Amino acid sequence: MIRKALFAGSWYPADQQTLKLLISESIETVLKHTTYQHCPCRFAVLPHAGLFYSKTGIAPFFAADLSKIQRLVVLAPSHYANLSPDCLVSAPLDGLETPLGMLESQNLDNAQDKYFSAIQSEHALEMVLPYIASLSPRPKVTLALISHFSQPQAVKSIGDALVAQVGEEEIKAGRTAFIASSDFTHYGPRFGYTPYQSGAPMRVREDDLALSHLLCEGRIEEAFAFCSSKRSTVCGYAPAMVVSYIASRMQSRGWVADYYTSLDISSSPDANFVAYSTILWR
């Protein structure tokens, strides 16, 4: 089974040259202001909106030297298929189509055919694939979905199981890296989330950065409690916590590389906006 590039031509350019230019320009913008190329990262939380919005937050990870990485594990929430809590799912794939060429899939042991439609339809998995396809050499890619946790202990159970399957030494050596695909707070009437009477962008920023720093430090119980108490609309909090836990287990140091909202990109007066936080770990 081949996962098709379902969102090419709508969420990002389908034309190869236009897409290459978008990717290269977003990375060049990062390199003008940072030294990520000298600091390869093994773990990341990256946004997954259409690339008009998310390229700014995705690029910092791909601006680093990723030549040692042989496998990238991409974890995302499921926006379209209902998944049971505490359940990481995947499908057996023969390849991943992108406008820049086919990526090789490295499947999880528990991959099942019944989850193929969920994997195929999920935009949160697809947005990073063109960036991966732009790498040389190209790593193999593992795709999986997880949407909800019932308790923080389940984060550790799934994280430990993933480490055991992909190989702890492969992670420590930097040959296997993890990406959690997550946008942050979705604010406004459109999203049914309007807890602040005034100063919403600033209040949302405070909330998102508080959560981001908990994730940076691997403070999973506190991150879980934070999301629960705030009734958070951070759509990929579950994959973000899994990656945070694994990074902490590997004693990696995390930091917030970028934070912005859709209002910063579009300059729109809209009452609805989505926030994006880029978290990286060396």
Task: State pTM to two decimals.
Answer: 0.96
Give the distance from CA 15 to its chain's centroid.
24
C-alpha distances in Å from residue 80, one per residue of 117, 121, 122, 155, 213: 10, 7, 7, 22, 29
Number of Cβ atoms within 10 Å of the Cβ of 194? 13
pLDDT of 36 > 70? The answer is no
d(CA 271, CA 261): 12
Residue 141 pLDDT: 98
Q: How far apart are the first and last CA of the chain?
A: 34
**Share of residues in the chain with pLDDT > 70 (%):** 98
Q: What is the pLDDT of residues 221-234, one digit of tens each?
A: 999 999 999 999 99
**Share of residues in the chain with pLDDT > 90 (%):** 91
For 137, residues 6+ apart whose C-beta sits below 8 A from its C-beta are 67
- Shortest CA distance to 179 belongs to which of 99, 92, 82, 62? 62
d(CA 150, CA 227): 12
Please, which pLDDT band fits residue 173 given cuts at 50, 70 and 90?
Answer: very high
Residue 68 pLDDT: 92
Residue 117 pLDDT: 97
Residue 217 pLDDT: 97
Residue 32 pLDDT: 87
Residue 14 pLDDT: 98
Number of Cβ atoms within 10 Å of the Cβ of 259? 17
Residue 38 pLDDT: 57
Please, which pLDDT band fits residue 108 given cuts at 50, 70 and 90?
Answer: very high
Please, which pLDDT band fits residue 280 given cuts at 50, 70 and 90?
Answer: very high
